[in-house]
Amino acid sequence: MSEVGLPLWLLAELTYRCPLQCPYCSNPLEFASMQNELTTEQWFDVFKEAREMGAVQLGFSGGEPLVRQDLPELIEYAHKLGFYTNLITSGLGFNEEKIAQFKQAGLDHIQVSFQASDPVINDMLAGSKRAFEKKNEIARLVKKYEYPMVLNFVIHRHNIDQIEDIIQLCIELEADQVELAICQFYGWAYLNRQGLLPTKEQLVRAERITNEYRKKLSDAGNPCKLIFVVPDYYEERPKACMNGWGSIFLTITPDGTALPCHAARQLPMNFPNVKDEKLSDIWYRSTGFNHFRGDAWMPEPCKSCPEKKKDFGGCRCQAFMLTGDASQPDPVCSKSDHHHLILKAREESERELALHELTFRNKKNSKLILVSKG
């Protein structure tokens, strides 16, 4: 096996609780059955061990991390350990008192996600009538407290045609960096893929407009950076998922399950839990983290492919979701025997599916999914 790297990037999914219900949420479909969140002390132990193992970046995500009442303590502890800390939030539940508290605790970075530039679509997608107004308020507070303004828009079929308005909104909010990320199809997004994947025509137009704005911003000396993330469903080669399995990313889920990526929980494998094992044993010795490390596991055509060091055979979760076998080449690759599944998904994106026909990520739907799975 190749040499094992350090878990430089720790993602702490503090909770699956969230006041919103985005139909593209990457949380597990069965989240309603997942309780027993780690305690404050257990998170402290995770941070300490991860830092000792060489972790440098710590992302607080969820669900909505703001619902954890101990978030200021977690931030402070991580900061004292020397982590660069990043809060990934929808903004709901945020206020000036909290942002001041987080600043005091040493939080380095905040990323606020928006659903759309149109308040009605934003709030419908979010499932909250106050979401858009609240996000604007938070974005302004982020600026006031001298954080870099980093906004994230998940782009899909129902908001991609408003890309111009989205960029305008970001400029008005004086964003420093905007991630225009076309939906990645995991969790609820995979369930809703047919209604979320933009058409090729929509994608080409959105990318052209983004490029035009990049030029305008640069000509005007505006430092705002627009990052356009194309969905791999329109590529012929897969993404280098997680920079390779068990290479630098370590995700800890709310109940302490350790994963090489946030979507891996769905794979038919056993993943260890920080309540039962030391983090270093999990990272270096567990089957879950070693199974797809390096390239010994690869079947053909990846095995003898000259590109295998570049993309590591793509995403294991995507291979599993589409083919039922996590050790297959990612079907995004045109060399995969299953690439026709991606072509079919592109064709399906031409069919109309209204916003209200999507399955929203909420407890009720999660419970229905659990019942249907028996």
User: Does 315 appear as a known binding residue?
Assistant: no
DSSP string of 263-320?
TGGGSSS---BTTTS-HHHHHHH-HHHHTTSSSTT--TTTTT-TTHHHHTTS-HHHHH
Would you count residue 108 as binding ligand SF4 (CB under 6 A)? no
Would you count residue 335 as binding ligand SF4 (CB under 6 A)? yes
Would you count residue 209 as binding ligand SF4 (CB under 6 A)? no
Give just the sign of the alpha carbon dihedral 359, 363, 366, 371: negative
Residues forming a β-bridge with 60: 12, 87
By beta-carbon proximity to ligand SF4, the closer residue of 33 and 270 is: 33
Among 18, 75, 105, 151, binds ligand SF4 (CB under 6 A): 18
By beta-carbon proximity to ligand SF4, the closer residue of 216 and 364 is: 364
Contact 182, 231 (CB under 8 A): yes
User: Does 18 appear as a known binding residue?
Assistant: yes
Contact 10, 58 (CB under 8 A): yes
Would you count residue 329 as binding ligand SF4 (CB under 6 A)? yes
By beta-carbon proximity to ligand SF4, the closer residue of 106 and 294 is: 294
Would you count residue 25 as binding ligand SF4 (CB under 6 A)? yes
Residues 63-82 as x/- pattern, contact with ligand SF4 by CB under 6 A: xx------------------
Would you count residue 11 as binding ligand SF4 (CB under 6 A)? no
Interacting residues with ligand SF4 between 303 and 322 (CB under 6 A)? 305, 307-308, 311, 313-314
Distances (CA, A) of 166 to 113, 255, 259, 276: 12, 35, 33, 45
CB atoms within 10 A of CB 281: 12
Nearest-angstrom CA–CA distance, 229 and 178: 11
By beta-carbon proximity to ligand SF4, the closer residue of 106 and 301 is: 301
Tokens of 366: 């999660």
**Largest distance between two CA atoms of the chain:** 58
CB of 219 to ligand SF4, least distance (A): 34
Would you count residue 302 as binding ligand SF4 (CB under 6 A)? yes
E strand residue ranges, the chain: 9-13, 57-61, 84-89, 109-114, 150-155, 177-182, 225-229, 249-252, 258-259
Stretch that binds ligand SF4, among 17-25, 200-208, 249-257, 339-347 (CB under 6 A): 17-25
Q: For residue 85, report the phi and psi dihedrals to the nearest 5 degrees.
A: -105, 140
Among 7, 28, 59, 62, binds ligand SF4 (CB under 6 A): 62
Q: Count of residues binding ligand SF4 (CB under 6 A)?
A: 25
Residues 229-248 as x/- pattern, contact with ligand SF4 by CB under 6 A: --------xx----------
Residues of the shown chain interacting with ligand SF4 in the complex, contacts defined by CB under 6 A = 18, 20-22, 25, 27, 62-64, 90, 237-238, 301-302, 305, 307-308, 311, 313-314, 329-330, 333, 335, 361
